Amino acid sequence: MKNRYFYSLVIFGLFIVHSPALSQTTASDRQIVAHVDTAAISAGELRDFVHGIPLGLRSKNSAGKAREAYLRSLIGRYLLELEAYNRGLDTSSAFQAQVASRWQQRLIEVYRRDHLKAQVEVSEEEIRRYFQEHKSGRQRQLSGILVHERHQAQDVLKRLGAGESFQELAQEYSVEPHSGARGGEWGFITLSEARRLKIPDQIFHTLPLDTLSDILPIGDRFLVMRFLQDRPPNLDEQRSQIRMLLHRQKRDELEVQKIDSLARVLGSKLEPKALDLLLEKAEVHAMVKRGQLSPQEAAQPLFSFAGGQVTLGDYVDALWEDPLRASSGWGIRNRVEVEEIARTKLLSQAMLAELARQAGIPAQPEQLGWLEKERRKYMVNQLRQTEVVDKLVVTGEEARDYYQKHQETFRHPEEFYIDEVLVHTEAVASQLLAELETGGESLSSMASIYSIRPGMKQELGRWHVHSHERFSQPQLYKAVQEADLNHIVGPVQVEGGYSLFKVVDRSGGQIQPFSEAETRARGLVRLQKKNQLFEQLVDELMAEYQGHITVYPNELEAALPDSLLQRLAAESEEGQ
């Protein structure tokens, strides 16, 4: 069962990355190790497949069994393609529409990358002018307390007004994961970064240093902030970012020009008949989906141009790429709105695809290879949907049973606040410990002088140790887990030196109740059953198409020699 689980994961999870290497192949790469029907699996393809498997999914069996498992996985991919093709899954209208949409997007991406981008240049003069006009080099050191509720922000302001420490309140209140433990320190930000944080431009430009802001809504949370210091503009630090911004702006402008020009040349026009039909549907339905259109209605052109059209069905599908807005009736309310959305979302895409065709991109071998790969991928996705995903049912009893048998999986991660001094040598750590034991110094004061951990001098050694530190700092994390509260521990040899620390607070570690863990438990059971159904599907295909599979043992062993498989297994062990 373990081997079968291995190859099902490999096929199920890695199908998209399958891409046989056809260039720069050697004679040994072209040796055929197996046939599946008329398709040949080469030694080079098999090796590429094996090297592409993540470390954690590589086989840990003996060389012979690993060789068979890898080939079985790759054969399984070909069988899925063969079965999907034999079922005619590539002939459905849904399949054709899905592949056509991805093909159009691919042509547009390549056209933008290989043609539009090359036509745009940004001069040093333009960079300097933008820098001067937008004050883009100014940086301000932000200190903030981010909370979930407005009343919490009001409490923070009230306590700050009463003279309490900003740093201590940030540690108590702030839900921003990185700054809370640092007393609210967010680091230096530019105007563009302030905008991404939803801080108003006026606040960024005019709020004096060390002055508290009013409560600022930040999405669905609330921020109380101040600026601690300013840095003068520095063009060298901003040049690359400004160049990218200006390049994108000029490329977008050029793109609009080319779209408008081609649309005029091709005589694009809005078709009143389809527009009237859509508005009639909108009078009956609060929202319009393709299912509410007959095949003839969906095929009606909303925009037409020489050599092509944008159909009413295309338009409705495009609206539902944004389900939240579409469900509110967006895009069907009036003529002006429909025409604007159709032009920006669909006609522009059609014009870019036409520009790509005029540039010869669809005939490029690389793009034709990509298209064939996409077709195979979508065929297999459809097969997987009908034979695996659509058959999945997870009951509440199954979820509860999994929870009870795997309770450690549902344990809250442990987190700690520690005061720590990290030094280079054990001798120095022992000397500092002796001074601590006499009561003349504290860990915080020592950290401000001696600690070599980055950023900890400024933080007086206070560190919020998250659960992810068990990977980056395993020795320290283990020692912290085992330590008693408010008890100095050390010297402990850890990554980077020797540590003296005490745990001042800890949280987490308890097992979630089933009411909290049920959704995750259902997801894990669903994944388990999905793998089982997939294994069953592959087993059935292996049996059904056994007469279509031919393996060449000598070529297989030459393609994956014992030495290679042993090295791959060793790499996998080291990577765990």
**pLDDT for residue 562 is more than 80:** yes
Q: Which one has a higher pLDDT value, 62 or 137?
A: 62
Helix axes 562-575, 43-51, angle to 10 degrees: 10
Handedness of CA 236, 241, 242, 246 (dihedral sign): positive
> How sure is the predictor about 29, in pLDDT bands with cuts at 50, 70 and 90?
low
Handedness of CA 152, 157, 161, 164 (dihedral sign): positive
**pLDDT for position 17:** 35
**pLDDT for position 3:** 41
Q: Which one has a higher pLDDT value, 440 or 261?
A: 261
Model pLDDT for residues 271-306, shown as the tens digit of each residue: 999 999 999 998 888 888 888 899 899 999 999 999
**pLDDT for position 402:** 93
Give the β-pairing of 415-423 and 462-465. antiparallel
Q: Which residue has the tokens 């949370």?
A: 221
Return left, alpha or beta for 174; rule: phi > 0 is left, psi -120 to 50 is alpha, else beta: beta
**pLDDT for position 304:** 92
Model pLDDT for residues 477-535, shown as the tens digit of each residue: 999 989 998 899 989 999 889 999 999 888 888 888 999 899 999 999 999 999 899 88
Residue 103: other Cβ atoms inside 10 A: 17
Residue 572 host element (H or E): helix 562-575
Distance in angstroms between the alpha carbons of the first and the last residue of the chain: 21
**pLDDT for position 242:** 86
As a whole number, mean pLDDT of residues 223-242 equals 85
Q: Which residue has the tokens 């949280």?
A: 507
DSSP state of 390: G
Task: State the average pLDDT for the chain.
Answer: 86
**pLDDT for residue 21 is more than 50:** no
**pLDDT for position 371:** 94
Domains annotated for the chain, with CATH where assigned, are: 2-86+545-575 (no CATH), 90-133+255-375 (no CATH), 138-232 (3.10.50.40), 388-411+512-538 (no CATH), 413-507 (3.10.50.40)
**pLDDT for residue 353 is more than 90:** yes
Handedness of CA 46, 365, 105, 121 (dihedral sign): positive
For residue 221, report the phi and psi dihedrals to the nearest 5 degrees. Answer: -125, 180
Question: Facing residues of 422 across strands?
Answer: 499
**pLDDT for position 271:** 92
Residue 528's SS3 state is helix
How many helices, marked H, and strands, marked E, lie in the chain? 25, 14
**pLDDT for position 137:** 64
